[in-house]
Structure 1
Amino acid sequence: MRAAFGREFRAQDVSRGGAYVIRRFDAGHVAYREMVLPAPLSFTKEPQGDLVVVSVVDGRVRRTLGREQGTFGAGDSFLGHVPGRPCSGSSAELHASAVTLPGELLARAAAIVEPRGDRPLRFTRHTPVDDRHTAHWDRVRAYARSVCDLGAEDVPLIVGPLAQLLAGAVLQVFPNTVAGHEPILADTRDATHSTAVRATAYIDDHAHTDIGLADIAGAAQVTPRALQYAFRRHLGTTPMAHLRRVRLAHAHAALKTADPLDGATVTGIAARWGFLHTSRFSAAYRAEYGRSPRETLHG
């Protein structure tokens, strides 16, 4: 427990009964932790640069964050820690998960939502907007867990987009000062055909690497929102949908040349090119090429 939580962690009357589980997945940009802690526990966390979203499966948590206090039970999600503020609390018979994101990742996500940077990112409430947003976070968190099950080394092209997805979901789910602003006029002016050409060239050259919307926009020398406008206006799609189609083409080429007798599998090739769910990959592949990826591999 000390190795997982650091010296800030304190336990009270730790029982010998019950199973203690701490499972951690760390890919640099994002950390996912699941914990089952039967004993009454207390914790403190000094101001740091990360944000932690806690989702309670069972048990109860009391948390003090700045001047805000809260008690959370099964089905609740909340901000357990925000950058630059201390927190403390206690738990009893806790079964929960925690997603940890660095402050700089949130700042980049905020810049996508609000390119002007007129307001610093600050969370105005530490619980989701409503039940619908809580359900959205639960779906995103479940996807993070599925990546955790695979392991970062097996899905290198998924880890970066996963971190961006989680950061974007946090801005959607938890009320803050930057989400919901209207785009500036410059974004629409930059949505030119040449912007789309620069972006597609970058995608073609870097589809095998861990790139996301912000990387593509930077290469095209526009804001992410302007890039999205350019793709809709001139290509009838989105930057990330175009990236998926390029990676699908690479997966198609890999399936055609791979030998199943050497251990090649549809799942392995799909994961190598950023497709985590084999069933979704198969559906997209069939829609694009008129046959299943398995037929291509064994053809």
Structure 2
Amino acid sequence: MSGKPVRPAEARTRSGDEARSLMQAAYGRRFTAQDVPRGGAYVIRHFDAAHFAYREMVLPAPLAFAKEPRDDLVVVRLAAGRARRVHGRQQGTFAAGDVFLGHVPGRPCSGSSVDLHASAITLPEALLARAAALADPRGGRPLRFTRLTPVDRRHAAHWERVHAYARSVCDLGTEAVPLIVGPLTELLAGAVLQVFPNTAVGHEPALADSRDATHSTAVRATAYIDDQAHSDIGLADIADAAQVTPRALQYAFRRHLGTTPMTYLRRVRLAHAHTALKAADPVTGATVTRIAAQWGFLHTSRFSAAYRAAYGRSPRDTLHG
């Protein structure tokens, strides 16, 4: 994963021509847009990271577009207004509260919106293909999304939680360190494959994955985590190091350690943060927030709760002790 920071930016305009240019630059589509009546404005906030982009859009006037095939996927969360999408035989009309695929890789699409207030996460096809290969290493089937909407309400709710986390990371702006942005990218790709019906992800455990979930697998994985906890690693990296699939890795941790690989990684990083707090001098500018972020903990309050549960005192007490 790249360590490129997230860079937030915002554009506002009342001009339909300017709005069309902004949207075309963001999505590569041919847009038509109308000037906004008095009191309104097009607003586009965007955060471009190494392997994903997050955008929030307020589009108060009717807008339409057509798009040639491109190698990216866009997941839209509609907060207000109405939208329509057409991807060949797949099409749908959406309202406030809906989550849907606004574009899928390799297909032309068209659509329209009225009084839209939405957010969108864009992921490249290569990232999704990598996640699909890890999820189904023996399948060999091309990745194709078979529906524009989530599997069910439970999966839609899962995307809401992932979306909220992505937004909170983007809000950090340039403070979003690689230990946070890298795993988030993998999380987004994995969540898309779990939430939206596709040809790559099934739900039945493979026999080989169960067979590979050995104690030796868990040992190899924990040794890798212990050695690389300071690096931008995720589930796929740990599985590669243990020479098994991510699913087999999860089975091994559950079976032999009673936890998950990512929970174990967080525990190791918490221990490193504990060591850093004990060694730090607040006089030099060291803070709990900075040390927590260095070890991949985005929310200081959650870090403090986890730290207190593990060490019986607050991280601030350790820093100033």
> TM-score, with normalisation over the residues of structure 1?
0.93
SS in 2 for 1:15: coil
100-109 vs 237-246, greater mean Cα deviation: 100-109
Q: Does 1:217 align with 2:233?
A: no
Q: Does 1:246 align with 2:265?
A: no
- Tell me the equivalent position of 2:34: 13
Instruction: Give 1:111's match in structure 2, choosing from 103, 125, 133.
Output: 133
Amino acid at match of 1:186: A
- Tell me the equivalent position of 1:184: 206
8 Å CA contact 1:37–1:93 kept in 2: the answer is yes
Tell me the percent identity.
77
The CA deviation at 1:155 is 2.5
Instruction: Give 2:291's match in structure 1, choosing from 269, 272, 278.
Output: 269
Instruction: Give 1:137's match in structure 2, choosing from 142, 159, 163.
Output: 159
- Tell me the equivalent position of 1:84: 106
The CA deviation at 1:233 is 2.6
The CA deviation at 1:5 is 3.1
8 Å CA contact 1:27–1:152 kept in 2: the answer is no
The 3 A distance-change label for structure 1 pair 240 and 155 is same
Structure 1 runs not aligned, ≥5 long: none
Amino acid at match of 2:262: M
Residues 79-98 of structure 1, C-alpha deviations (whole Å, 9 max, x = no match)? 01011101111112211000
The CA deviation at 1:51 is 0.7
The CA deviation at 1:225 is 1.5
Aligned residues: 299
Amino acid at match of 2:248: A
- Tell me the equivalent position of 2:122: 100
Q: Distance in 2 between matches of 1:25 and 1:291?
A: 36
Amino acid at match of 1:276: L
The 3 A distance-change label for structure 1 pair 111 and 181 is farther
Q: Does 1:205 align with 2:227?
A: yes
Amino acid at match of 2:99: S
Residues 9-45 of structure 1, C-alpha deviations (whole Å, 9 max, x = no match)? 4233222531321111111221110011112212222
8 Å CA contact 1:152–1:159 kept in 2: the answer is no
Instruction: Give 1:260's match in structure 2, choosing from 274, 278, 282.
Output: 282
Instruction: Give 2:258's match in structure 1, choosing from 228, 236, 246.
Output: 236
157-166 vs 231-240, greater mean Cα deviation: 231-240
286-295 vs 125-134, greater mean Cα deviation: 125-134
8 Å CA contact 2:81–2:117 kept in 1: the answer is yes
8 Å CA contact 1:62–1:91 kept in 2: the answer is yes
Q: Distance in 2 between matches of 1:29 and 1:48?
A: 15
- Tell me the equivalent position of 1:285: 307
Residues 157-176 of structure 1, C-alpha deviations (whole Å, 9 max, x = no match)? 11121112112221222122
Residues 193-248 of structure 1, C-alpha deviations (whole Å, 9 max, x = no match)? 32222212211221111110110111111111222222223322211111111111
167-176 vs 6-15, greater mean Cα deviation: 6-15
8 Å CA contact 2:170–2:176 kept in 1: the answer is no
Q: Distance in 2 between matches of 1:74 and 1:92?
A: 11
288-297 vs 173-182, greater mean Cα deviation: 173-182
Amino acid at match of 1:94: L
Q: Distance in 2 between matches of 1:201 and 1:69?
A: 48
- Tell me the equivalent position of 2:192: 170
The 3 A distance-change label for structure 1 pair 26 and 222 is same
> TM-score, with normalisation over the residues of structure 2?
0.87
Structure 2 runs not aligned, ≥5 long: 1-18
8 Å CA contact 2:54–2:167 kept in 1: the answer is yes
The CA deviation at 1:61 is 1.2
The 3 A distance-change label for structure 1 pair 68 and 251 is same
The CA deviation at 1:263 is 2.3
Amino acid at match of 2:303: F
